Amino acid sequence: MSIKVYIAAAFRRFSARDNNSNNLAYGILHKNSYTDFLESIESTFIKKGYITCLPHRDEGHWGKKYYPPETISAICYRHVLSSDIIVAIAEDGRGVHLELGFAAGLGNKTIIMFYHESHEPSTLIWGLSSISHKNNRIHIYKYTDIQEIQKILAEIIPDITKNTIMFSPFNKAIVDIGSHTIKLNIFRIFSQNSNENIYNESYSLGIIDSINNGILEKNVLNKLFDLLKNWQQRIESYHCSNTIVIGTKALRITKNIETLNDIINSLFHTNLKVLSKENEQSLIQIPIIRQFNSNLPIAILNLGGGSIQFSVVEDSIQKYNIVIDFGTNYITSKWKWDKAIKRHTFRKIVNNIKKIIEEEHSLSNPSCVMTHLSYMIHTGGELDFLLSCLAPLKYCRVSKTHVSQISRRDFTNFAYDFCNNDIDQAVIKYSLDKKWLSGSIASNAIAIAFMELYNIRILIPSNLNISDGLILE
C-alpha cells in the first residue's frame, strides 16, 4: 500500500467564527494564502503519488463541516496512526504539538518539522528525538517561504521529485440523478490519485414517487430543469472542463427519458448516462479496490432510494454480488418516523429486510463469503453521518484513507439509540437536516440486516460514491 503523509498545521487561529458560531470550538478557514501554503506543501507529495491527509480540508472541508472536539480529535489521531510521514508546521498551533507528541510515541514514523524564522517552536520540540521511539526519524528545519520548504523536502526525501509526473489540475462536475436525491459534486483533480471535492449540493426531489406508468410527471421535469439550470451556472463559475450527468434506478424505468436527455443536452452539451445495476456496482468498487487492502475479502454495501447493491471483492476481483430492487424509500414509506421508534420496532424493520433479501435471492451462503468475511464498507456519506452523531468509532487498519470503523454490536446499539429520539430531537441533537433523517434509519437497518445475514463483524463507514468511481474510471 502507498506511503501516507499527514500534514499538521495550526487551524483555529486562522479560522473565522461569526456571531452564530462563537460557541463552537473553531470556525471556517476561508481559502487564502494560508490554505494555498498548506496545499503547496501537499502538492510536493501528491506529484509523486503519495497518499496525503490534510485534515483541515479532508476532515471538515476547511471547517464548513463542523465536528465536536472529541470527534475531530479522534479522527486526527487515527490519521496520524495510519501515516508513515508526519509533516508539521510547528511554530504555531497547540494541536500540532499534541499530534507530534502522539506520533513520536508510536514509532516507525518519519517526522519532519518546520518553523518560520520569525517564530520559535516549543522548547520540547528540540528534545523530541531523545525521548521518542528509537525507530522514528526526526528532522527539524527553519524556513522563510514555501519554496524553501519544497526544496528541503526534495533534499531529505530523494525520491520525492525524481521521475515526477507533471499533472495540470482541472475541475470536473458530476450530476447524479438518484431515485430520491439529486446531487451535484464538483471535483478539483490534482493527479491520477488525488482529488478534492470543492463544491457539493443536493436536493430532495423524490423522482421515483413521481413516475406513473413509466412516465416522469411534467411538473417534476420542470422542477428538475429549473434545478439543473441553476447548477449549470454554478458549474460554469467553477470553469469545469466537462460535466458528467448520470441516472440510476428511477431513470431506468422512465419511458420519457428522451425528454430529460434533451434538457440535459441543452444545458450541459452532453448526454445523460443511465447506469445499469452492474454499472453502479462496478463504479463503487473501483475506488474501494484502490483504497483498501485488496488481499482481504471485503463486502461493499451501496444503497439508494430504489435499489441496493451488495458485493464481495478479494484480490481486486468480484467474488460475489447481489442486486435488490428495493431501497430506503420502501422502509420510510412503511415505517413513519413521527415519534420515537422503539427497539422492538426497529428490530422488526431489520428482520423484515432480512426476510426480503433471503426470499429474493435464496441465499446460498457461499463458503468464500461466509467463512472469512470480516469487513463491510458502507458507502455514500455514511462516514460523515456517523462522525456527526458521535458514534463509537475505533481505529481501522485495513486502509490508509479510511481510518474509522465500528463493530456490529456497537453499530446496532447506536442505531437503537438513534431512532429512540423523536425526529425533532434528533435534528437538534445531531445537527442534521430533517429531510434526510428517515432515510438514515432505513440505511442503518439495511446495514445491520446484511451484517447479520453474512456474519460480518466490522462496518467501515465511507463517503465514497459513484462519483469517485467515475473520476477514477
pLDDT at 306: 80
Confidence class for position 205, pLDDT limits 50, 70, 90? confident
14-66 confidence digits (pLDDT tens):
888 776 656 788 888 888 899 999 999 998 888 777 889 999 988 878 888 88
Given a cut of 90, whether residue 237 has pLDDT beyond it is yes
Strand-by-strand arrangement of the 170-177 sheet = 194-204, 181-191, 170-177, 242-247, 273-274
pLDDT at 359: 80
Can 4-160 and 278-472 be said to share one CATH topology? no
Q: What angle do CA 303, 70, 200 make, to 5 degrees?
A: 40
Residue 157 or 262, more confident: 262
pLDDT at 19: 62
Rounded mean pLDDT, 143-168: 78
pLDDT at 136: 77
Given a cut of 90, whether residue 82 has pLDDT beyond it is yes
Rounded mean pLDDT, 351-376: 73
Domain regions of the chain by residue span? 4-160, 170-275, 278-472
pLDDT at 337: 81
Topology of the domain comprising 278-472: Nucleotidyltransferase; domain 5 (3.30.420)
277-310 confidence digits (pLDDT tens):
778 888 889 989 888 887 888 999 998 888 888 9
pLDDT at 165: 56
Given a cut of 90, whether residue 174 has pLDDT beyond it is yes
Rounded mean pLDDT, 103-112: 89
Confidence class for position 344, pLDDT limits 50, 70, 90? very high
pLDDT at 305: 81
pLDDT at 54: 93
Lowest mean pLDDT among 55-64, 176-185, 356-365: 356-365
Lowest mean pLDDT among 61-70, 154-163, 169-178: 154-163
Confidence class for position 193, pLDDT limits 50, 70, 90? low
The dihedral region occupied by 14, where left means phi > 0, alpha psi between -120 and 50, and beta the remainder, is: alpha
pLDDT at 87: 96
| Model pTM score | 0.86
In percent, the amount of the chain with pLDDT more than 70 equals: 93
Of 257, 237, 249, the closest CA to residue 176 belongs to: 249
pLDDT at 339: 83
pLDDT at 435: 73
In angstroms, the Cα distances linking 183 to 207, 258, 330 are: 13, 20, 21
Rounded mean pLDDT, 381-410: 93
What is the rounded CA–CA span in Å between residue 304 and residue 323? 12
Q: What is the 3-state secondary structure (H, E, C) of 56-113?
A: HHHCCCCCCCCCCHHHHHHHHHHHHHHCCEEEEECCCCHHHHHHHHHHHHHCCCEEEE
Per the listing, cell 487492502 goes with 293
Rounded mean pLDDT, 227-254: 92
Rounded mean pLDDT, 410-416: 96
**Structural contact between residues 314 and 295, judged by C-beta atoms closer than 8 angstroms:** yes
Chain mean pLDDT for the chain: 86
Lowest mean pLDDT among 63-67, 114-118, 225-229, 394-398: 63-67
Task: Give CATH superfamily name and number for 170-275.
Answer: ATPase, nucleotide binding domain (3.30.420.40)
What is the rounded CA–CA span in Å between residue 341 and residue 416? 8
Rounded mean pLDDT, 148-173: 77
pLDDT at 161: 57
Rounded mean pLDDT, 180-207: 82
Beta strands at 181-191 and 242-247: parallel, antiparallel or unpaired:
unpaired
Confidence class for position 369, pLDDT limits 50, 70, 90? low
pLDDT at 439: 84
Confidence class for position 159, pLDDT limits 50, 70, 90? low
pLDDT at 238: 94
Given a cut of 60, whether residue 148 has pLDDT beyond it is yes
Given a cut of 80, whether residue 366 has pLDDT beyond it is no
pLDDT at 199: 87
Architecture of the domain spanning 4-160: 3-Layer(aba) Sandwich (3.40)
In angstroms, the Cα distances linking 97 to 71, 78, 88, 92, 123 are: 18, 16, 9, 9, 11
The runs of H, that is alpha helices, within 310-371 are 328-334, 343-361, 367-370
**Structural contact between residues 122 and 147, judged by C-beta atoms closer than 8 angstroms:** no
pLDDT at 5: 94
